[in-house]
Structure 1
Amino acid sequence: MIAIDNVMLSDQVVEEQFVCDLTKCKGGCCEDGDAGAPLTKEEKKIVDEVFEIVKPYLTEEGLEAIRKIGKYEYIDEFGWVTPTIGGKMCAYGFRDKEGVIKCAFEQAYYDGKIAWKKPISCHLYPIKVTKTKTAELLNYEPREGMCSPACVLGQKLKVPVYAFLKEALIRKYGEDFYAALDQIAREYYLDKSK
């Protein structure tokens, strides 16, 4: 376990290797789950603010789910989450011509229309964050089967999970946090010559 301030990271975050392989998984994490993407209170406000800008990226099925459920919903087990289409794909997802699920928020971000990339829970995947009264726990939780191509690609490229998620970790916890994590990883986990 690695502790940085009030954040506790499982050793797997630095020991395991992972790089998303969208050509193989087709963005399956956007439709394979128990609920939509978890949202923070702040992210709910952002969804409200950018919805009309993102709306043209949505599928008819996604729009219908949002009309029925709302832009987000509360589920006891998970808190606030994005709605899903029939309990499957996130209502904010769409398939590109190769069949890969893309995020409407992220596409609008890349198109320069909004400044918010996507929910931090999605950006941090395959790390899942659990909050306690005193800390945040970060665990590496790839989906068995679906994420195996990402594990293979990560091993081939020798990219630790935390390095693959550098942008997301900095977005959530800041540059200093990432620098401390990187130093710990290099000193205690990655440099086997010591």
Structure 2
Amino acid sequence: MIIDVNNILVSSDIFTEQFCCNLGKCKGICCVEGDAGAPVTLDEIGGIEDALDTVWGDMSAQAQSVVDRQGVAYTDRDGDLVTSIVGGKDCVFTCYESGCCLCALERAYRQGKTSFVKPISCALYPIREKKFKDGTIALNYNQWDVCRDAVTKGKELGLPVYRFLEGPLVRRFGQEWYNELCTVVDELRKEGII
């Protein structure tokens, strides 16, 4: 079921499915698996380029080489701008700590070294945003087998996707929109629709 929340189309499974990242189990595999980089906007590319000198030393030699050749992003086969990748899979901004794959951009931000966090598409995962040519935005829950431990943990905690991703949703759409989303969910539950 698709719900309109202030002109943003939201798949109802974002309200009903449970999710909570479990880095201890998955080791950050979502930054490594896949066939393209993370979707980015032109503004985000500018933010990434501004942070590049700060994170350069955390990037692998192969990642540095890719960035030297093609930049921090490229257009994938679907025509979307995405972060550059190494060897057909690893995001160039992956770095490793204690056996876990982390985002060099996010780590630098958390250390107070940059003002750019990471692409919003990464922060919103497992929600994927789709923009249509008419300007309509749709939010869908992307189920991926590498996140099965996150689903298990989310179920244990009783944590719906939209609650787990409150911070990124507020960052992307604003507090007012998120509050309306929560109101819509409450109304749908009261009516027994979800």
For the 8 Å contact 2:40–2:83, the answer to whether it is kept is yes
| Cα distance in 2 between the residues matched to 1:20 and 1:166 | 13
Partner of 1:113: 113
Over aligned residues, Cα RMSD in angstroms?
1.5
- Partner of residue 174, structure 1: 174
Cα deviation 1:83-123 (Å, max 9, x = unaligned): 111011101101112x2110010000001011121000000
Equivalent in the alignment of 1:21: 22
Q: Secondary structure at the match of 1:159?
A: coil
Listed as ranges, the matches of 1:56-75 within 5 Å are 56-75=57-76
Structure 1 residue identity aligned to 2:53: E
CA distance in 1, matches of 2:147, 2:54: 31
Q: Hey, what does 1:46 align to over in structure 2?
A: 47
Deviation at 1:23, TM superposition (A): 1.1
Aligned residue type for 1:118: K
Name the SS of the counterpart of 1:147 in structure 2: helix
Aligned length: 190
Residue in 1 that maps onto 2:188 = 188
Give, as a single letter, the amino acid of the residue that structure 1 aligns with 2:60.
T
> d(CA) in 2 for partners of 1:101 and 1:191?
42
Aligned to 1:163: 163
Deviation at 1:190, TM superposition (A): 7.6
CA distance in 1 between partners of 2:163 and 2:111 (Å): 25
Gaps of 5+ in 2: none
SS across alignment from 1:115: coil
Verify the 8 A CA contact 1:127 1:139 in the aligned structure 2: yes
1:5-63 Cα offsets, whole Å, 9 max, x none, are: 22100000001010001111111111111201111011011112111112122122221
**Are the aligned partners of 2:48 and 2:116 in contact in 1 as well (CA < 8 Å)?**
no
Shift of 1:66: 1.3
* Matched residue, 1:123: 123
1:4 match: 5
> TM-score with structure 2 length normalisation?
0.93
Q: Secondary structure at the match of 1:34?
A: coil
Q: How far is the alpha carbon of 1:187 from its aligned partner?
A: 2.5
Mapping of residues 71-82 of structure 1, within 5 Å: 71-82=72-83
- Letter in structure 2 aligned against 1:95: Y
Contact 1:58/1:92 (8 A) holds in 2: yes
Paired with 1:190 and 1:127, the residues of 2 have a C-alpha distance of 24
- 1 CA distance for matches of 2:69 and 2:135? 37
CA distance in 2, matches of 1:155, 1:117: 28
Which 5+ residue runs of structure 1 have no aligned equivalent?
none
Question: Amino acid of the residue matched to residue 49 of structure 1?
Answer: D
**Partners of 1:63 and 1:91 within 8 A in 2:** yes
